[in-house]
Amino acid sequence: MTHYEIKSQKELRSGMGEGLIETGRRNPDVVALSADVKGSVKMDGFAKEFPDRFIQCGIAEANMVGIAAGLSLCGKVPFVGGFAEFVTGRVYDQIRQVLCYSNKNVKICGSHAGISLGEDGATHQTMEDIALMRALPNMTVLVPADFNQAKAATLAAAEHVGPVYLRLGRSKMPCFLPDNEPFTIGKAQLLNEGSDITLFACGHLVWEALQAAEMLEKEGISAEVINIHTIKPLDVDAIVASARKTRAVVTCEEHLFNGGLGDSVAQALALHCPTPMEYVAVDDRFGESGTPDEMLTNYHLRAADIVEKAHKVIKRKA
């Protein structure tokens, strides 16, 4: 079994910020726009280095998306930054009609996503954004696992032609993946090979899935861990191949049960390889205020919760 160690604790939004600066140095057409939260979404470094390529749009996310669409028509590669709840739900109509319908080359950076946002509470803790974005034709949906992968995903998004949603967390989380590892949109990442069960995970829960795999190994259960960092386009081949091997699946995500990674995997398996499956996700409820650790624990998104679901689905397989 491959063992992963925490190299540091870093925010995914900071990985995006570093990636944005790097892609800005590579490509003079890259521009950034913020909804009055450039510091919070880590666009301040880009704004400092490229002040003539940064636009502060104020608390007006819908206008920001419209401006970005116009810039893309002029050959620019716009990155728009805001809180995930507000750059998806608040401006869904603009994203649908102005970006996706005509396949505009705009990148949406949604920071502060998920329950681990913490103390800001239910109004800011978006847990339905993946469902919203993956439903849109032409939209690519990326959910990196740590700081390093968030940086790599930002670079990949800049090279991709078409609208992209990049989901990012606010809180410091384990950084465990290698530096400068290539990020291929639409290609799942095998982190640990196993034979008894597959743990498909995205975002912050990739680390929890790896810890769950170590816990299961001590029980004599071999867990395959696959990082589904691209929700759309989904790597159906990798999902089906692993499910055929292990014949038991648990999906792990910091999102509602409805419409996220779990439903994406369930759809693929229903069509190609019906397999016993369990979800580790937030039940049909809103968030609340608390520390990130409290939220992940209280909403049953920890390694121990993954192990519990693994036992349940293995019994169903038998």
> Residues 307-318: what's their mean pLDDT?
94
**Does 147 lie in the same domain as 21?**
yes
Q: Specify if 116 maps to a domain.
A: yes
Distances (CA, A) of 59 to 9, 127, 187: 30, 21, 35
Q: Specify if 1 maps to a domain.
A: no
Extract the tokens encoding 61: 């996310």
**Does 147 lie in the same domain as 211?**
no
Handedness of CA 209, 300, 186, 77 (dihedral sign): negative
Overall number of domains in the chain: 2
Query: What whole-number distance in Å separates Cα of residue 279 and Cα of residue 183?
Result: 26
**Does 161 lie in the same domain as 271?**
no
Q: Specify if 90 maps to a domain.
A: yes
Residue 249 has pLDDT above 90, yes or no: yes
**Does 163 lie in the same domain as 200?**
no
**Does 193 lie in the same domain as 312?**
yes
Q: Specify if 54 maps to a domain.
A: yes
Domain's final residue, options 175, 208, 240: 175
pLDDT at residue 155 in the model:
98
**Does 264 lie in the same domain as 118?**
no
Extract the tokens encoding 216: 């299961």
Give residue 180's pLDDT band: very low, low, confident or very high (50, 70, 90). Answer: confident
- Residue-wise pLDDT for 92-124, tens only, equals 999 999 999 999 999 999 999 999 999 999 999
pLDDT at residue 289 in the model:
95
Q: Specify if 70 maps to a domain.
A: yes
Q: What is the CATH number of the domain that holds 312?
A: 3.40.50.920
Range of the domain at 219: 189-317
Give residue 2's pLDDT band: very low, low, confident or very high (50, 70, 90). Answer: confident
Q: What is the CATH number of the domain that holds 81?
A: 3.40.50.970
**Does 193 lie in the same domain as 170?**
no
The CB density around residue 252, as the number of other CB atoms within 10 Å, is: 31
**Does 246 lie in the same domain as 151?**
no
**Does 124 lie in the same domain as 254?**
no
- Residue-wise pLDDT for 250-298, tens only, equals 999 999 999 999 999 999 999 999 999 999 999 999 999 999 999 999 9
pLDDT at residue 318 in the model:
73
The CB density around residue 195, as the number of other CB atoms within 10 Å, is: 12
Residue 317 has pLDDT above 90, yes or no: no
Q: Which of 66, 65, 34, 68 is nearest to 51 (CA)?
A: 34
- Residue-wise pLDDT for 121-170, tens only, equals 999 999 999 999 999 999 999 999 999 999 999 999 999 999 999 999 99
- Residue-wise pLDDT for 66-82, tens only, equals 999 999 999 999 999 99
- The b/e string for 130-163 (b: 16+ C-beta within 10 A; e otherwise) is bbbbbebeebbbbbbbbbbbbbbbbbbbbeeebb
Q: ω before 174 within 30° of 0 (cis)?
A: no
Domain's final residue, options 175, 200, 235: 175
**Does 20 lie in the same domain as 146?**
yes
Give residue 1's pLDDT band: very low, low, confident or very high (50, 70, 90). Answer: confident
Domain's final residue, options 175, 210, 235: 175
Whole-model pTM: value is 0.97
**Does 263 lie in the same domain as 137?**
no
pLDDT at residue 167 in the model:
98
Handedness of CA 239, 243, 246, 249 (dihedral sign): positive
**Does 248 lie in the same domain as 285?**
yes
- Catalytic machinery residues: 61
Query: What whole-number distance in Å separates Cα of residue 12 and Cα of residue 20?
Result: 12
Q: Specify if 217 maps to a domain.
A: yes
